[in-house]
Amino acid sequence: MRGNNMKTEENSHEHQVQEQLIRAGKELAGKGLVSGRSGNISIRLMTGNILISATHTFLGMLELDDLIEIDFDGRAVGEGKAPSSERFLHMEIYKARPDVHAIVHTHSVHASAYAFLDRPLRSVNYENDLVLGEVPIVSYAQPGTIEFARSACEGLGNKAAALLQRHGTVAVGEDIFDALAVAELLEDVAKVNYLIDTLSK
């Protein structure tokens, strides 16, 4: 009986997580943090596996079959679409950070520009200091590789977000909406930095 109850709880949790990822994808697209088929999102499941968006999906139009369960070796559990090519990035962060239960990877415009330039973001407000602190910049490595994933994970350290040179941003959180809020804050801070740089010339 206990086993049946645990299975029911896991199924209920997975259904809830699926709904959260679909909603978060719409939020990311609606806020302009992702466009087209860019970006990927994931949540850590109760089983220890990961639920991640499939490769080449529109995050703003996610459906259930766009959400792929993978193990910590990056293998898909069951049949279906291929998981995101950035699954190794998600896996390495989850392995290193037990406190992280959700990850958002975006190509948001202003933050991506600062990442490309390898230019640190100034702190612009109290929330910036409290949530982001000094945002690390991860040097470029070939996207989708385990080398990139490990470099990004090391660069992120214990921070809530990092800039990925020539590859956008990564934000983490206790849940998907926490990670989404971090990604949104990071882009807002980059926008203010852009205005400061532009207006102070």
pLDDT digits (tens, 9 = 90+) for 125-141: 999 999 999 999 999 99
Active site includes 86? yes
Buried-exposed string 165-178: b where 16+ CB fall within 10 A, e elsewhere: bebbbbbbbebbeb
**Residues 47, 127: Cα–Cα separation, whole Å:** 34
Pick the closest to residue 100 from 85, 111, 89 (CA basis): 89
φ, ψ of residue 53 to 5 degrees: the values are -65, 145
pLDDT in tens, 26-74: 999 999 999 999 999 999 999 999 999 999 999 999 999 999 999 988 8
φ, ψ of residue 48 to 5 degrees: the values are 100, -15
Question: Dihedral angle at the C-alpha atoms of 52, 58, 63, 68, nearest 10 degrees?
Answer: -20
The pTM of this model reads 0.93
Lowest mean pLDDT: which of 3-12, 21-30, 68-77, 110-119?
A: 3-12
One of 14, 27, 86, 184 is an active-site residue; which one? 86
